[in-house]
Structure 1
Amino acid sequence: MAIVTLVLGNSGSGKSFSMQNLDPSLCGVINVMGKPLPFRAGKQFRKLNTDNAYEINDLLPSLKAPIVIIDDFQYIMANEFMRGVTDEGGGNSVFQRFNRIGQNAWNILNTAINNTHPDQRIYILSHIEEVEGKTKIKTMGKMLDEKIVLEGMVTIVLQTTIRNGEHYFMTKNDGTTTVKTPHEMFANELIPNDLNAVDDAICDFYGIAKNHNQQAQIA
């Protein structure tokens, strides 16, 4: 069973950039939009470019990388929705499409949590939206949100924030987010947006040894 962490934030707030201190040899990146990573060493990461929910769901159990990153999860849902906007059909077909998108998102998270390798860390990067004064993972609207609460499926949810020009992760919920972390995993409410430091904290908390001799495999 892997440890799955949601890393949420607006575009440009440092989600992908937070990967820069990770050891590329330990990582496999599922690159949903096929974008270059926003730092010089990004080309060293092993990447698979796909937004196909079924392919991602089937691929996750076979990945050997100690660290797996899905960037950007929200576009798995959004791209599937946009490809179907010209489909003919009434309200029932739209309803079925939203159901399928919701099921695919749930399937990926469920597979990541339950059908991956022990001690593997999976980081799912995604955008946020504000609903009734509270930020949450961006999905495809109320119809999907009524069926599943994606944050409720995991133990760790971080959210990016920018304070005085510096980029951070929030580790504590102030009532306006879905942020949550295990008690005493992080000492501070704001930590640098460094996914390697987050991974170190998770490994320390759960007693996981980082194996720097293990070669990541993404495909």
Structure 2
Amino acid sequence: MAQKILIMGESGTGKSTSMRNCDPATTAVVNPVGKPLPFKAKFDMLNNETDARKITRYMKEQAAAGKKLIVVDDFQYILAVPYMNRIKETGWDKYNDFGANYFEIIDVCKDLPDDVVVVYMTHLETLDNGLTTVKLIGKLLREKITIEGLFTVVLRTGVNEGKYYFYTQNSGKDTVKSPLGMFPVYAIENDLAYVVDKVRNYYEIGEFKTDAEMSQADQAAATDLEKPDAKGRRSRTGRTKEEKLTPPTPKEEKPSRKTRAEVQAENEQKIAEHMAAVDEAIDKATGGAEEVPFDEAAAIADTVPKPDLQKPPRRTRKERQAEQEQAAETFVCTEDTCFYIPDADNYVKKHAGDESPKGGKVITEDEFNAGLKRIAQENNPNPVDGAMNPPEPHARGQRRRRTR
């Protein structure tokens, strides 16, 4: 079965001109109205013929003779010319004849070799619902058959600022379509030879070009024209065609948001590590002396880098609901128990027989001690201030260090 391509566009938008680069040795053209092509070329052509039997016989003969590309130009005239010739006839039988004639020229592809590509070029029209589709006559074909549904590749011609394009992607208001990954950009140069090479390469039909060769062809055929938005306005991103052809780099996944409890726990750990580092620095500087002058201890503590404490994020709705549910329950402590009260950001210790504080969350004693250090650190930016005992009366300017 031959591969089919449908190209639709208004008259003068580059349908026939797109054949300019096709090889006459392997290309045959069906020209229903016999009009001259818009460029100099010598293709094998069937002119002034709209009868399906003669056209399909010609297509089979050309395929058997080695033609690998068959173009049916001005395909809509397969309907229009017979309609005008029988316009005075009444009744609906003539529309059945038109539809059967039109469909037979598409259906013949199933009898052609697999390495043949058949391109149908046709005018288009915009329906009352705003959809732009192929131009037909009568309601038979439109109601009974969706013509574009018979094709995998449907392109549309377009002209923008004096340049001629093939659009490869659906705009939301037309029936354009192409296989996933076949064409690298939304708008390509109106070069039928390139389109046929892409189809052959994509489906690996006959003597097809390699991916490396098609990559170079993509660079030449790609354009900078952006796909219009829903209102028909084109994007102004300013991307070049080289940027469009470059595969996008995957976006880095954003780290998941830390909970308030996680940030608080990390801050408490940083404070504990900082206090341990301060004790170690003082021990190292004083040789483990039992008594160290307060000013000297403070100066040594200042040499230890301050911890980078993060601001706890606001609680999520889920966290607040969980805390409210926990706050609604109180109990009598059976032993000494430590609590953290999130609403007040405070730490409380209750003894056996005491009622637990409202909204309190049970924590370990280590978490309790670390939390007290955190609050002291937040209230006093210098962790050394208040952390040392004041000089004792009997030895002014001295402090006695705890014996470990």
TM-score (norm 1): 0.88
Q: What is the rounded CA distance, in whole Å, between the counterparts of 1:55 and 1:77 in structure 2?
A: 15
Deviation at 1:209, TM superposition (A): 3.9
Q: What is the rounded CA distance, in whole Å, between the counterparts of 1:137 and 1:101 in structure 2?
A: 15
Q: One-letter code of the match for 2:32?
A: V
Q: One-letter code of the match for 1:46?
A: D
Matched, 1:180 2:177: yes
Give the match for residue 162 of structure 1: 159
The partner residue of 2:44 within 33, 46, 49 is 46
Q: How does 1:1-219 map to 2 (within 5 A)?
A: 1-40=1-40, 42=41, 44-49=42-47, 50-64=49-63, 65-87=67-89, 89=90, 93=91, 95-112=92-109, 114-131=110-127, 132-210=129-207
Q: Deviation per CA, 1:158-181, whole angstroms, max 9, x where unpaired?
A: 100112211000100011111111
Q: What is the rounded CA distance, in whole Å, between the counterparts of 1:147 and 1:188 in structure 2?
A: 33
Choose between structure 1 and 2: higher strand proportion: 1
Deviation at 1:144, TM superposition (A): 3.0
Deviation at 1:122, TM superposition (A): 0.4
User: How many pairs align?
Assistant: 203
Q: Which moved more, 1:147-156 or 1:74-83?
A: 147-156
**Taking every aligned residue pair, what percent have the same amino acid on both sides?**
38
SS in 2 for 1:13: coil
Deviation at 1:118, TM superposition (A): 1.1
Q: Deviation per CA, 1:114-143, whole angstroms, max 9, x where unpaired?
A: 111111000001100111211111010334
Deviation at 1:103, TM superposition (A): 1.5
Q: Which moved more, 1:1-10 or 1:139-148?
A: 139-148
Q: One-letter code of the match for 1:61?
A: K
TM-score (norm 2): 0.49
Q: One-letter code of the match for 1:137?
A: V
Runs of 4+ with >4 A deviation: none
SS in 2 for 1:72: coil
Contact 1:98-1:144 within 8 A present in 2 as well:
no
SS in 2 for 1:24: coil
Q: Deviation per CA, 1:177-201, whole angstroms, max 9, x where unpaired?
A: 1111111110111000000110111
- The structure having more radius of gyration, on CA atoms, is 2
Deviation at 1:52, TM superposition (A): 1.7
Q: One-letter code of the match for 1:3?
A: Q
SS in 2 for 1:25: coil
Measured on the aligned residues, the alpha-carbon RMSD in Å equals 1.4
Q: One-letter code of the match for 2:44?
A: R
